[in-house]
Structure formats: structure tokens, C-alpha cells
Amino acid sequence: MTIERFDVVIIGAGLSGIGAARYLKTRLPGKSFVVLESKPRMGGTWDLFRYPGIRSDSDMHTMGYAFKPWKHPKAISDGPSIISYIKETAAENDIDRHIRYEQKVISASWVSETSTWTLELEQADGSRSQIACAFIFSCAGYYNHHEGYLPEWPGYHDYKGTLVHPQFWPEDLDYAGKRVVIIGSGATAVTLSPALAEKAAEVIQLQRSPTYVVSRPSEDAFNTFLKRFLPDQLAYQATRWRTIIAGRLRAKRFAKDPQGMKKMLVDLAVAEVGPDCDPKHFTPDYWPGQQRICRVPDSDMFKAIRSGKVKMVTDKIERFDATGIQLASGQHLDADIIVTATGLVLQALGGVKYAVDGQRIEPGKLLMFKGFMYSNMPNLIYFTGYFNASWTLKVDLVADYACRLLKHMDETGAKQVTPRADNAVFAKPGIPNRFISGYIRRAAGRVPKMGAEFPWFTEQNYFWDRKTLLRGKVDDGTLDFSGPKPVVLPDLQRAEPVLQQAAE
């Protein structure tokens, strides 16, 4: 049976995948490609999450693509507007015809002899098929779309009310006039609290550990002003750079004076709520910059707390019971609905099972190469973003680099490119992740890690990445460009041998 073959397979039709397709189509128009999407629609994260109030927690002038201005008045925008932006990008660049929906990538096997990836796909009806390519762009994101994180609470199944995880929000959930408890302190929880308070009888946000929360205008006054005099693209780029620079300066302040910045952020939150606010609800046990800061548009969460529609409770859960939650302090929270906004489950490589020349790839044993490729994995680029800034900022840089990389291979006749790492590289203790969000700590040992030195570690720093990805040489001596050349994994990266390659 003949297997359909492409130059590039893009996995995922979300913000990253559509952006990658646009770069590939415009920079290398001669390349054949297909976009594989497991869902029946494009959008990725923004199609999956459908809870009330869903919005970006980054401004769209940096979360939008570098090549397409964000024209919506609100910089902190709602989910449907972001979906429309992604769809517009696909339509404007004739990407729709390249997308194949309900095509879940189960596995991918590389054979160096032919310099080919063979992917096994599962369709909606359960049937299987195969497709081949020379290069994979993995744009499947960083978390499991089919599983949200849920702690093991005593008595969880004793609760008789309605339990909801935001990742799987029921379309028909009626919360009007109900008592709602939201467990969590991250972006999802602070988005849900004011949104549910509009109809619910009572909303309590229960958190074990607080998060830094700051208010930001939903509309960017600077951008609005510039658009009165400048074309959309120029106004967009100016606003984008202003926001990027401000973010970098803020990160430096966090590093230079963590104690002072912590006090400032807590004081700002307390001032927003008013004199009756207990500072403990907005005083995290970590320093600014170690986790994402939650931004709330136009003080919506603070306004809901001030009005009494939302109550904050900082305590530990002792157990669930039939009517609600018993807290360690002795307080009991009665609830008709409990929303478990407790986080994501990180997933490496989009959950795809990879093999290279018959050797199974174990994600937890991989080293990251410059943050977008992996040790000893040929012809694969992982489109990643920032955890401490807008995701798409880095996606744009990676997409630009990927196109330059493919062009270089065409010009030199190289068939494969591999970030080679031997046992000596693996033996050096890696740099620990400075970002300590719960979903990152929980995934330790299951996802790729950083090495001890460049190019095996990456900074969460846009300016560093511009220097290395946008301006740096493609062939800078850190990659192995070659013809068909077997890949032998070093002992410290080896897993058990794969029993059957996807290509068989």
C-alpha cells in the first residue's frame, strides 16, 4: 500500500499550528504540508475551553501573531474573539484546505535509511491510517486536552452536588441562583469568579495558596491612540514592542528586588478590594516571577469581591462530604456546584509515541535543544511558547527559524538534522526550572528537561531568543546536518526497544 507523503506534517490546528502553517506557506511555498487536528474544529486551547468568561490572560498585542495585527478593541480578549482571529488567519492564507480534522496522531517512527517519519493516525470512527513526511512540526501544545488535574481529596465521591472541571465545562450547566465554590487560585479561577457571580446566588473562591493578582485595562489606551494616526500594522507593532519591553523590565525588577515587588503587588490587590480586605488572600508563598501573575481586566474580580458577590477563602481542604467541603480551620462550605479549577496535566510531545530507528523515545529522558528541538530526535521541531509571557511570542521566533532551517537543508542537500547529545552531555546535572507552577512540578521526570549549558538549556527571555533564533546562524556548529545517518541513542537516553515500528 502506498503511503501519502509530505515534506512537512504539522500536528495541531491551534494558535501555534495555524501560525506555523502560515510561515511555511509564505516562506517556503514549494513545500508540501498537511495540518493534522484531532478535534473536528480548529482553535486548540480556545476551542477546548468553553467555561463562562473564558479569555486570554495575556494581552493580544503580544499573544497575536507578529504578521497579523490584533484589531479588536480589547487587548485582554474573550475566547470567541481569539477563535475568530485564528480562523481569519487560516482563511486569509488559504490554510483551511491543508487541514485534516479528526486525525489523532498515535505514534511516529523515524527511519534514518530513508530520512522519513511515518505517522500512525486514528480517525473519529476508530480506524487507523498512515502518513509519511520528511519533517514534523509539533504544535500540539504542552498539556493533555483529555485530562485535567484533580487532587485526591478525602470524601470526594461522597459529594452529592454537581462537580465540574473547567476543562470539560457542560454546555447545559445551570448555575443561576446556586451556591458555587471554585477551588483554585490561577487564571481559570480568577476568570470564573466574576463571571459566575453575575447569576449565581453565592460564589466562594477557595484557595490553598494565593496567587499574585493585578488589574489591567481591557483596552490598551496606547494602541487606541496610535491607531488614530498610524496604519493598523504600525500601531500594532509599536504596541507590541512597548509591551514586550515593559515585560522584560518588569522581570528584571522581580529579580532585583523580589521582596519590594511582592509588597507592591500585594498592596495593589488589597487597595483594589478595600479596607476590609485580608491581605492573606493575595499574599503567595513564592516570589514574583516564579509563577504567572494573574491579570484581571478592568478590576472585574476585585469589583465582584467588593460588592460581596464573590468571597475569598484561603484554607486547606480536610474532606468533601455530601453537602460541600469541610476545611482544616473547621469552617464548612455548603455548595450546590463545586468547580475544580485545579490545573492542567502537562504532556510531552502532544502525547504522541515516538521511536527513532527502532528505539523508543521516553520524553522524560530527553534534553531540550534551545527550547524547541530534542536530543537525538532528527527532523522534528516542537513549537513552544513562554510560561512567563505570551505563548505566541516564541512561536513566531521558532517558526521563522524552522523555515530558515529547512531552506538551509535544501541549499546544502542535507536530509536530516539532529541535535546530537552523548552520555557526557546527559551526565552533567541540568539547570532546574526556575518556574515553579504546580503543573510544572507535577510533571517532573515525565517531560523533557534542560541540560547544564547552552544549547541544552533555554531562557524564558524573548530578547535572548531573538538573538539565538532570529539572528543566529542556522548552522552554528550545534546541529548535525547530514545525509541518511543512523541515530544511536546514548545509554543515558535509552528506553526499552520498541516492539513494532509504526511503519510496519
405-444 residue pLDDT tens: 999 999 999 999 999 999 999 988 887 777 767 767 777 7
Please give the average per-residue pLDDT across 194-208, as a whole number: 97
Cβ 427 vs Cβ 97: under 8 Å: no
Helices and strands counted in the chain (H then E): 13, 25
Residue written as grid cell 532528527: 378
CA atoms lying within 13 Å on the CB side of residue 49:
25
Q: Where does the chain hold its CATH 3.50.50.60 domain(s)?
A: 5-145+345-493, 150-220+267-342
Side chain identity at residue 441, one-letter code: R
> Which residues are paired to 317 by β-bridges?
327
Q: What per-residue confidence (pLDDT) applies to 262?
A: 97
pLDDT interval class at 162 (50, 70, 90): very high
Q: What per-residue confidence (pLDDT) applies to 496?
A: 59
Question: With 80 as the cut, is the pLDDT of residue 120 above it?
Answer: yes
Contacts of 93 (CB under 8 A, 6+ apart): 21, 22, 25, 26
Please give the average per-residue pLDDT across 193-198, as a whole number: 97
Please give the average per-residue pLDDT across 56-60, as a whole number: 91
Third-level CATH fold of 150-220+267-342 = FAD/NAD(P)-binding domain (3.50.50)
Q: What per-residue confidence (pLDDT) applies to 502?
A: 39
Return d(Cα 349, Cα 138) in angstroms, integer. 7
- Identify which has the larger pLDDT, 95 or 488: 95
Closest CA to 390 of 11, 10, 16: 16
Query: What single-letter DSSP state applies at residue 467?
Result: I
Return d(Cα 343, Cα 147) in angstroms, integer. 10
Question: With 80 as the cut, is the pLDDT of residue 238 above it?
Answer: yes
Cβ 103 vs Cβ 121: under 8 Å: yes
Q: What per-residue confidence (pLDDT) applies to 436?
A: 67
Question: Exposed/middle/buried for 139, CB within 10 Å: 0-12, 13-18, 19+?
Answer: buried
pLDDT interval class at 498 (50, 70, 90): very low
User: Dihedrals φ, ψ of 143, to 5°?
Assistant: -135, 165
Kindly report, residue by residue over 283-320, the tens digit of the pLDDT: 999 999 888 899 999 999 999 999 999 999 999 999 99
Question: With 50 as the cut, is the pLDDT of residue 501 above it?
Answer: no
Please give the average per-residue pLDDT across 25-52, as a whole number: 96
Return d(Cα 259, Cα 191) in angstroms, integer. 27
Predicted structure pTM score: 0.94
Closest CA to 294 of 224, 209, 219: 209
Residue written as grid cell 556548529: 477
Which option is the CATH number for 5-145+345-493: 2.50.20.10, 3.50.50.60, 3.30.1300.10, 3.20.20.70? 3.50.50.60
Closest CA to 421 of 453, 464, 460, 467: 453
Cβ 305 vs Cβ 202: under 8 Å: no
Query: What single-letter DSSP state applies at residue 83?
Result: H
Neighbours of 255 (CB within 10 A): 13
Which range among 5-9, 41-45, 445-449, 470-474 shows the weakest confidence by mean pLDDT? Answer: 445-449
Show the cell assigned to 470: 532570529
Return d(Cα 56, Cα 142) in angstroms, integer. 17
Return d(Cα 104, Cα 353) in angstroms, integer. 12
Mean pLDDT over all residues of the chain? 93
Alpha-carbon distances of 334 from 156, 182, 198, rounded to whole Å: 14, 12, 19
User: Dihedrals φ, ψ of 95, to 5°?
Assistant: -90, -25
- Identify which has the larger pLDDT, 458 or 123: 123
Return d(Cα 387, Cα 291) in angstroms, integer. 8
Show the cell assigned to 473: 546562524
Q: What per-residue confidence (pLDDT) applies to 500?
A: 41
Return d(Cα 69, Cα 423) in angstroms, integer. 46
State the alpha helices, DSSP H only, in 257-349: 258-273, 300-306
